[in-house]
Structure 1
Amino acid sequence: MSKPHALLDKKVLIPRGKDQAKSFSQLIERNGGIPIEIPLIAFRPIEQNQRLQECLQAFDTYDWVIFTSNVTVETFFSFYDGDMTALPKVAVIGKRTAGVLQEKGIQAEFIPSAYVAEVFVEEFLPLVGSGTKILLPKGNLAREYIAASLSAAGAQVDEVVIYETFCPDESRLKLARLLAKHELDILTFTSPSTVDHLMEVVKQFGLEEQLKNCIISCIGPVTEKRLFEYGLTVHVTPEQYTVKDMIMSTIAFLEAGS
């Protein structure tokens, strides 16, 4: 068990929005840290278009729908107002996404053992046959890996962009100010987009030197790879791709160095 104050009043960047940051921040506080909430990633639904409308109207003709995040779930069902008892089978990446669906009365029939696209595809492929019809709602910056891999296996995959990802202007200014004053001790990253948005600010304001004194923690190999591409040192990447495991691993890293 970790020490009650293992984070030792360290200021920890929480790169999520207010609705998603609560449990993240509480975990930091319980371990003696100071959560600094600066949403580096925000989402907005796209404007309704013909492509989306066609997918919604044909929703009951799909064999599977794949939801890769809770944002995808919430956004999709803000558009869909059809029969909730006639849905295709549902696959998700992550227990949290499955939980959001369950709150809507929808049971996920497939959850991979690890919450990354590569593992999802490997474990989902046995369920896919030639002509299996799959709907994949996604954000505008989502990877192509899942659709490309399932299509190569013979599935008919319809991708539809349902939301856009952006960094709020107020977050940019707050982040620049705190980095300039060396007021962030630990930087946590939950996706490649959070890395990109932070580095846009770093480069805009010339704050590269300020990053050298920060501990950097991230979730997942794709996010880790993006950090490496910027030439940054990654101190912590947990084996399990969850916020809790990232924080516990960060605490272990701190304790090992104390």
Structure 2
Amino acid sequence: MNDVHNLPGRVRFVGTGPGDPGLLTKRALDAIAVADLVVHDRNLPQQMLEAAQEHAGDNAVFTVADATSTELIKDLITAAREGRNVARLLTGDAYPNATAQDEIAAILDTEVAVEVIPGVSYASAVAGYAGMPPGGLRTLIDVDDVSQLDTTTLAAAIANGTLVLTSDVANLAVVRDNLRATGIDSATPVAVTGDVTGETQFTATSTVDTFVEAALGFAGRVVITIGKGVEDRNRLGWWENRPLYGWKVLIPRTKEQAGEMSDKLREYGAIPCEVPTIAVEPPRTPAQMERAIKGLVDGRYAWIVFTSANAVKAIWEKFAEHGLDARAFGGLKIACVGDATAAKVRSFGIEPELLPTGEQSGTGLLEVFPPHDTILDPVSRVLLPRADIATEALSAGLQERGWEVDDVTAYRTVRASPPPADIRDAIKSGGFDAVLFTSSSTVRNLVGIAGKPHARTVVSVIGPHTAETATEFGLRVDAQPQHANMPSLVEALAEYAVALKKRMAEAPVKQRRGAKAQGPTALRFRS
């Protein structure tokens, strides 16, 4: 039997597209997943690199292609001969890249197996994301060596349809001069798109004479569109027209906790930044939780009431310690204060029996919680696992309804360490366009470890109690959803952004000197 590591590997050249990881094809993801070695250029967008690292195997090695072309080709061949699968990541599509073509040709001259996996080109991405379809007859030119631009070819392309050039931003002046040499009308519309499919993609529309100046602030590869497609941008563009496009949004939670919220923000075009303000630690003494788990197993409780996802996690971790699973909830009714907590319960394959129908809070849960019936409820006790800083209102309300309550500290919340200095400065100076508060403690702790958000920062809170705390700290509450859950919180911010944009368009307000307007910070330098 042959050792699998002695079998020959192969080199897969993977086009990754311009930058949005969502454009990676399934075949590209499969190539990354089976790769032992991932080789990428230094200019691969950070979000693309992170996506590749997420999909790669645990033992995959990532390295930057800093060697000379000859040395790199040798390294790729050697790795494949050693039985390693190699993923060579290329920005955009593979074949417009002259260097990649040389690498592919050199490896094909050996016995090493090669695959070339197409990626979305810059030109195709701009057509879709910026809303500039090139039409039936178009000329696409990838400019690696600007000295090879041919005036005759450019003139024919402009005369016959749409011309789309992909070039380094440093070459724009030379491209402009070549366009002028074709005799094109200097007032012909030109669109330049930078950071293609990225978080700050921006399309500047100008003319042949002015597009170089319009592209100031752009970096790296840009796409220049000349022709019919430019006229379509206003009616077909969508990527740059999303409600929160270019907004930097601060989320006072860990990346793990903010996952759903961050994904939703990205859908709306925002740039989320997670800053932990609370660290969750086990209770100082485990005795209470140990007795609670034993009581669950022994049938001591009629209900368990979860007030947070952290409480669900704490109970589940205790189950794991004792070799228990969801069956330990058999015969027990489960109540949750809101959708986010219920979602955490469902993630373990359990459906809660009771949630608030109105306000998603302890108060809302009490409105629908049944009173204890001595005949119908032979077990009269409720388990309430919570944080050490939780208020007594829910416990008191349950007792008023005739229930005996075991109010157990399931976890402790402690203030997290302060964020880096640049984050603290951005919070206090208006570097964030919005902040999303998901609880009163996130308000208190953010102000405690990083300072009070700037007055221009839009404040969106998840519910009335959080709003009260924000107001107590002198913050203006701009947005609050009707339903206290993460998706609704993000949607409330998006609705505020749409209304703000409409107000500014209808009645632009002249800012006093030194004042900072609300709006997308990430795009302000290009306005």
Which residue number corresponds to residue 212 of structure 1? 455
CA distance in 2, matches of 1:92, 1:21: 19
Which residue number corresponds to residue 53 of structure 1? 290
After TM superposition, the structure 1 stretch with the greater mean CA deviation from structure 2, 90-99 or 69-78, is: 90-99
SS in 2 for 1:111: coil
Which residue number corresponds to residue 354 of structure 2? 110
Which residue number corresponds to residue 150 of structure 1? 398
Equivalent residue for 2:327, pick from 85, 92, 105: 85
Determine whether 1:162 maps to 2:405: no
Determine whether 1:72 maps to 2:314: no
Which residue number corresponds to residue 42 of structure 1? 279
So what's the TM-score if we normalise by structure 1? 0.88
| Cα drift, residue 256 of structure 1 | 1.6
| Cα drift, residue 89 of structure 1 | 1.5
Contact 1:129 1:155 in 2 (8 A): no
Contact 2:418 2:449 in 1 (8 A): no
Which residue number corresponds to residue 20 of structure 1? 257
Contact 2:429 2:454 in 1 (8 A): no
SS in 2 for 1:224: helix
Which residue number corresponds to residue 368 of structure 2? 123
CA distance in 1, matches of 2:431, 2:361: 32
| Cα drift, residue 183 of structure 1 | 1.4
| Cα drift, residue 174 of structure 1 | 5.6
Cα deviations by residue, 1:165-204 (Å, 9 ceiling, x for unpaired): 12321437564232244311101100000000112135xx
CA distance in 2, matches of 1:253, 1:78: 39
CA distance in 2, matches of 1:108, 1:151: 21
SS in 2 for 1:109: coil
Which residue number corresponds to residue 250 of structure 1? 493
CA distance in 2, matches of 1:15, 1:106: 28
Which residue number corresponds to residue 477 of structure 2? 234
Contact 1:38 1:174 in 2 (8 A): no
CA distance in 2, matches of 1:8, 1:228: 27
Cα deviations by residue, 1:80-134 (Å, 9 ceiling, x for unpaired): 334743422211122332332233233311122242111100101x253367210
CA distance in 2, matches of 1:256, 1:38: 27
Which amino acid in 2 is paired with 1:14?
I
CA distance in 2, matches of 1:85, 1:29: 38
Which amino acid in 2 is paired with 1:156?
E
Which residue number corresponds to residue 341 of structure 2? 97
Which structure has the larger Rg over C-alpha atoms?
2
Contact 1:112 1:123 in 2 (8 A): yes
Which amino acid in 2 is paired with 1:69?
S
- Identity level (%): 28
Cα deviations by residue, 1:219-250 (Å, 9 ceiling, x for unpaired): 00110010111122101111111222222222
Residues 145, 157 of structure 1: alpha-carbon distance in 2 compared, 3 angstrom cutoff: same
Residues 103, 232 of structure 1: alpha-carbon distance in 2 compared, 3 angstrom cutoff: closer
Give the aligned CA root-mean-square deviation in angstroms.
2.4
SS in 2 for 1:128: coil
SS in 2 for 1:17: coil
